[in-house]
Amino acid sequence: MSVSFSEISKEEIAQVMQLSHAAFEEYQKTTPEQKSLFLEAIANEIEALGDALINKASEETNLPAARLNGERGRTTGQLRMFAQMLREGSWVEATIDTAMPERAPLPRADLRKMLIPLGPVVVFGASNFPFAYSTAGGDTASALAGGCSVVVKAHPAHAETSEMVYSAIKKAIASCNMPENIFQHVHGNSFETGKALVQADHTAAVGFTGSTAGGKALYDYSSQRKNPIPVFSEMGSINPVILLPDTLQHNAKDLANQYTGSITLGMGQFCTNPGLMIAIESEGLHEFINHLGAGIEAVQPAKMLHAGIHTAYNKKSHAALDQTGVTLVKQAAKEANDIEASPAIASVKADVFLQNPLLHEEVFGPYSLMVICADEAELTAVLKAVSGQLTVTLMGTDTDFANHPALIQVLPSIAGRILFNGVPTGVEVCNSMVHGGPSPATTDSRFTAVGINAVKRWVRPVCYQNCPDNILPPALQNANPLGIWRMTDNEWKK
């Protein structure tokens, strides 16, 4: 039996954010090592929840235990990654330009710069990742690492799972003697709750993963504030995949097998799901489409995360398939029941696609549209028409890459991550990963939601001029007590 949670009121939100602000100020007194131990304690407490957490998440989301165990590992791994980042220390970008009193015609003051935390961060839990993008996910981990307090609004689709993770964080707060309200947890389903959280006086930044409508609404709420704040919304993507002629001629079947798996992985409920494929008309392309159709036809329908996502998938996929010029290639042979999704592949000519903006929209689920182009110019036009993606993928041979240099040059303007001969589903959590992209994929293409650089969303630079050494933050003091790498007079030094 599911448990219901009461909607937080606007008055309670104001109090929560006030407590968060007070905790934030207290948190500034903790050392990087103390923060590291805190993040590691959260990871340990989440793991200590054992199978009970996995079972509850599976019950609420219909995701299999194997997937959830992997996602929990990613979540605890993220927390430990940020703990290591804090110990290494160079993430604060300490930069020192020492005084030059004898410089003519004007002397230079002593200038020292580093990154400092913004303040209380509100995180909206994501429906499709109950661990990695929710209560103790990447937004929370990076914000706590950056020195911010955090308030999470649990996603109603897995509210009990969120409560269990919250209990683990509370234990870590107690065992590490952290400020009691450094992390708080609230529930709410209404737009008014989201608006109140964004517009509360003490909210300093917002993290969101979800729909375009939801992300834009939060962004708009911020712009209506007396003092607008940054809103980092990751709002989905159709992740175009370009299939070049030579690889289609030689590898059509293998490519089809690869993309059957990618399109239907997790019933397509990933923000990096390949929802659009683009290729130039050829025999190899038609062979690929035939093999892909056969693969999709054999896929067994499975339950989606919840009824809302299932309803949206059916509505959007049917709307796309009903458009003039769109042909259903294949769908799963077995009938879908309850909230199961029926995987489907469709095709359309490029000229039709270019004239119909509805076909450019994301269909969140196991659906992909094949756009058939007459030549490279038309292919490039299609690609530019859907710019603003998390990923773009190029499938080709060395011959293909040599024959299409102009196309390759376009790719960085399309997405935050460019893949060659792979599938976009699956995001490695590491220093070099970029999980972001131009609008409408995100509200700020300068940042990533995955990897250690995710912390940069929650901090800002501050410069100290002619500040006495004993007053400076440790990261900027002459003795470098933290032992971190710093840029000093244009040289990296410890």
Catalytic residue among 45, 71, 234, 378: 234
Model pLDDT, residue 297: 97
**Residue 220 and residue 263 in one domain:** no
Return the H-helix or E-strand segment holding 155: none
Answer whether the bond into residue 301 is a cis peptide, omega within 30°.
Answer: no
Mean of the per-residue pLDDT values for the chain? 96
**Residue 151 and residue 164 in one domain:** yes
**Residue 248 and residue 341 in one domain:** yes
Does 1 map to a domain? no
Residues 178-198: tens digit of each pLDDT: 999 999 999 998 899 999 999
Kindly state the average pLDDT of the residues 109-126.
Answer: 97
Model pLDDT, residue 2: 60
**Residue 140 and residue 19 in one domain:** yes
Residue 234 appears among annotated catalytic residues = yes
The confidence band for 236, taking pLDDT boundaries of 50, 70 and 90, is confident
Residues 26-55: tens digit of each pLDDT: 999 999 999 999 999 999 999 999 999 999
User: Model-level pTM?
Assistant: 0.95
Q: What is the distance between the alpha carbons of residues 493 and 275, in angstroms, rounded to a whole number?
A: 47
3-state SS, residue 473: coil
Nearest CA-CA partner of 265 in 485, 63, 3: 63
Model pLDDT, residue 73: 97
**Residue 220 and residue 279 in one domain:** no
**Residue 168 and residue 214 in one domain:** yes
Q: Which residues contact 86 (CB under 8 A, 6 or more apart)?
A: 32, 33, 35, 36, 39, 145
* Residue 16 reports pLDDT greater than 70: yes
* Residue 247 reports pLDDT greater than 70: yes
In this structure, which amino acid lies at residue 425?
T
Q: What is the distance between the alpha carbons of residues 58 and 130, in angstroms, rounded to a whole number?
A: 10
Please tell me the chain's helix, strand, coil percentages from 3-state DSSP, rounded to the nearest 5: 45, 20, 35
Catalytic residue among 148, 176, 271, 373: 271
**Residue 275 and residue 182 in one domain:** no
How crowded is residue 214: how many other Cβ atoms within 10 Å of its Cβ? 17
**Residue 54 and residue 165 in one domain:** yes
Report which of residues 59 and 1 the model is more confident about. Answer: 59
Nearest CA-CA partner of 441 in 293, 248, 236, 304: 236
Model pLDDT, residue 4: 75
* Overall domain count for the chain: 2
**Residue 187 and residue 258 in one domain:** no
At CA 354, angle to CA 271 and CA 407, rounded to 5?
70
Contact between 161 and 102 under an 8 Å Cβ cutoff? The reply is no
The confidence band for 80, taking pLDDT boundaries of 50, 70 and 90, is very high
* Residue 76 reports pLDDT greater than 80: yes
Domain enclosing residue 387, as ranges: 240-420
Kindly state the average pLDDT of the residues 379-383.
Answer: 96
Model pLDDT, residue 370: 98
CB burial of 322-334 (b: ≥16 within 10 Å; e: otherwise) equals eeeebeebbbbee
* Residue 1 reports pLDDT greater than 60: no
Nearest CA-CA partner of 112 in 491, 493, 481, 469: 469
